[in-house]
Amino acid sequence: MNPYEAYMKEMAEGMRRELTEYDFKELLTPIDVETHMDTVKDDESTFVVINSVCGCAAGLARPAARTVALQNPIKPDHLVTVFAGQDREATDKMREYIGQMPSSPSMAVFKGNELKHFIPREHIENRDIEDIMMDLKDAFDEYCI
């Protein structure tokens, strides 16, 4: 690992913990992503956070994701995360399942393997966190039952 990669890995560690400490499972490799997506049942829901080092991930996406995942009465069956720019291959594989333009950070709700709701970066940055949380709550309430 070169010094830049080592620095970025160390810098991102706290950003990873902002989700993993709240029961989000990290999918670090393409095999991790495939294993999760191929074993999830059709009636199960998955909430995916594509994590990032940017300011809108730190100030909006991660806090909104963990707050709604913890506090909403209706919860997804699975909470997973991939880290854009860190775990590139895993992120690329998850983006294949999402089927939208690459966007970091972003969030997705699946029912089985079917994408039901997607929040790209442009619907995260420059918005109030309460609005993002309401979008997530509405998606959980509709697709995670």
Distance in Å from the first CA to the final CA of the chain: 43
Per-10-residue mean pLDDT for the chain, 145 residues long? 85 94 97 98 98 94 98 98 96 98 96 98 97 98 96
Name the one residue in this structure whose structure tokens are 């830049």.
Answer: 4
What per-residue confidence (pLDDT) applies to 7? 85
What per-residue confidence (pLDDT) applies to 6? 85
What per-residue confidence (pLDDT) applies to 128? 97
What per-residue confidence (pLDDT) applies to 5? 81
What per-residue confidence (pLDDT) applies to 32? 98
- Domain assignments of the chain as residue spans, ordered by start: 3-144
Catalytic residues: 54, 56
| CA separation for the pair 89, 127 (Å, rounded) | 29
CATH 3.40.30.10 fits 3-144, yes or no: yes
Three-state DSSP string of 123-142: HCCCCCHHHHHHHHHHHHHH
109 in Cβ contact with 117 (< 8 Å): yes
What per-residue confidence (pLDDT) applies to 41? 98
What per-residue confidence (pLDDT) applies to 76? 98
